[in-house]
């Protein structure tokens, strides 16, 4: 029995011995390689860099607002009646006083014809009475009665004509009509809505500004408006500033006016508003991609040469305003510092780096995303 166990052990040793030896050699090789890498240091990380520079930034106030028509109404019927004519198509541009909707006025027109006949007769009688009064054939009282009858007939004609005019709806100003709310042959009641009418060029932008910035506001001040879905910003001017501050929000309401000849801007649109002031200020700016945000503070990696190699040193900074793809550095670095603008997320303090600016993202002060 002992001989059999010894033989089995010798066989296992002969089989497993070379395998164990090989593994021991591999582990020793890996340990030696790790020691060599540790002695040589970590391999450099490829990064893109940007030289922080001094830029002139406009002094601006940014807020949001809503577009409003300079003139906009939903036309309603003053009198009831049946719709006999709709003179415009939905969405059509119309001139001032253009016919929009006409209600049935056949009854009024018949009454007008009768009233005009009575007016003609009353004027003839007034002329005869005036002649007879000059001849002392009638009394002054009879002449006054004839004159009153003629004036009453004129008033009746004017009243019927006014009723006809109130059933003939015309555009109170030039603009563009919307989608009508009535149909031909429909009988409507007084006050029923007929169709919207909006004047779109120019157009108002209404927004609010905190009371702390009131001193920076002035009528005639330039402003830029950006609307989602429309590429280019629209230029305009401040045309009115409310004389009072809202007691609840402590904001002042401001109104600007924009040219809108192509009617791309429509009432009710949400817009980003930038108020531009005449002064400019100098800032040290870097791409926003260079800034690493963390709960304990914001930082950038500054590329420096140490012992003949490039390393990225973590530098904490204090940030200012952001403009487009750039952000201002208030404190921490100066103009001329080379910072990591791409690949910073892979770095630690004093990590070795190699510069590869081909991976540098393009940064713009006024980026314009492409529609795809």
β-bridge pairing 93-94 and 168-170? unpaired
Cα–Cα dist 118/145, whole Å? 15
pLDDT at 37: 45
**CATH class held by domain 61-69+200-280:** mainly beta
In the CATH scheme, what architecture does the domain 77-194 have? Beta Barrel (2.40)
pLDDT at 163: 87
**pLDDT single digits (tens) 266-295:** 898 899 988 887 777 788 888 888 898 888
pLDDT > 70? residue 260 = yes
Sign of the CA dihedral running 103, 106, 108, 109: positive
pLDDT at 143: 81
Whether residue 287 contacts residue 326, with contact meaning beta carbons closer than 8 Å, is answered with yes
pLDDT band at 372 (very low <50, low <70, confident <90, very high): very low
pLDDT > 80? residue 133 = no
pLDDT > 70? residue 24 = no
Q: Look at residue 6 and give its three-state secondary structure.
A: helix
pLDDT at 253: 93
Q: Which residue has the higher pLDDT, 20 or 257?
A: 257
pLDDT at 33: 54
pLDDT > 80? residue 362 = no
**pLDDT single digits (tens) 287-345:** 888 898 888 889 989 988 888 788 888 999 998 888 888 888 988 888 888 988 888 88
Q: Which residue has the higher pLDDT, 77 or 138?
A: 77
Of 284, 280, 287, give the one whose Cα is nearest residue 331. Answer: 284
pLDDT > 70? residue 30 = no
pLDDT at 261: 86
Does the domain at 45-56+282-359 match CATH 2.40.420.20? Answer given as yes
- Mean pLDDT for the chain? 83
Least confident of 17-26, 90-99, 132-141, 326-335: 17-26
Cα–Cα dist 57/316, whole Å? 23
Whether residue 66 contacts residue 269, with contact meaning beta carbons closer than 8 Å, is answered with yes
Can you give the residue ranges of every domain in the chain? Answer: 45-56+282-359, 61-69+200-280, 77-194
Of 58, 5, 36, 146, give the one whose Cα is nearest residue 323. Answer: 58
- In eight-state DSSP terms, residue 293 is P
pLDDT > 60? residue 186 = yes
């Amino acid at each position: 029995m002992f001989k059999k166990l010894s033989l089995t052990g010798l066989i296992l040793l002969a089989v497993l011995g070379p395998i164990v030896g090989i593994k021991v050699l591999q582990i020793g090789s890996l340990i030696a390689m790790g020691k060599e890498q540790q002695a040589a240091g970590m391999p450099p990380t490829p990064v893109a860099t940007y030289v922080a520079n001094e830029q002139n930034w406009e002094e601006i106030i940014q807020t949001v607002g809503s577009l409003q028509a300079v003139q906009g109404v939903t036309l309603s019927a003053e009198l009831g009646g049946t719709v006999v004519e709709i003179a415009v198509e939905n969405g059509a541009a119309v001139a001032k006083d253009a016919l929009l909707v006409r209600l049935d006025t056949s009854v009024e027109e018949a009454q007008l014809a009768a009233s005009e006949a009575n007016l003609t007769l009353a004027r003839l009688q007034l002329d005869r009475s005036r002649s007879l009064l000059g001849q002392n054939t009638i009394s002054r009282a009879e002449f006054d009665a004839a004159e009153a009858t003629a004036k009453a007939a004129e008033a009746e004609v004017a009243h019927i004509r006014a009723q006809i005019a109130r059933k003939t709806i015309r555009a109170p100003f030039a603009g563009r009509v919307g989608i009508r709310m009535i149909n031909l042959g429909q009988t409507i009641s007084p006050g029923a809505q007929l169709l919207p009418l909006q004047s779109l060029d120019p157009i108002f932008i209404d927004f609010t500004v905190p009371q702390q910035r009131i001193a920076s506001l002035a009528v005639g001040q330039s402003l830029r408006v950006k609307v989602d879905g429309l590429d280019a910003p629209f230029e305009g001017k401040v045309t009115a500033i409310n004389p009072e501050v809202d007691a609840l929000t402590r904001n002042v309401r401001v109104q600007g006016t924009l040219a809108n000849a192509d009617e791309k801007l429509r009432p009710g649109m949400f817009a980003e508003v930038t108020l531009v002031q005449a002064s400019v200020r100098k800032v040290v700016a870097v791409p926003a991609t260079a800034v690493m945000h963390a709960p304990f503070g914001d930082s950038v990696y500054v590329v420096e040469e140490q012992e003949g190699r490039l390393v990225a040193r973590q530098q904490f900074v204090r940030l200012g305003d952001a403009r487009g793809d750039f952000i201002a550095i208030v404190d921490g670095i100066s103009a001329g510092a080379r910072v990591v603008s791409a690949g910073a997320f892979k770095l630690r303090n004093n990590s070795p780096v190699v510069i590869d600016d081909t991976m540098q993202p393009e940064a713009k002060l006024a980026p314009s995303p492409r529609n795809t």
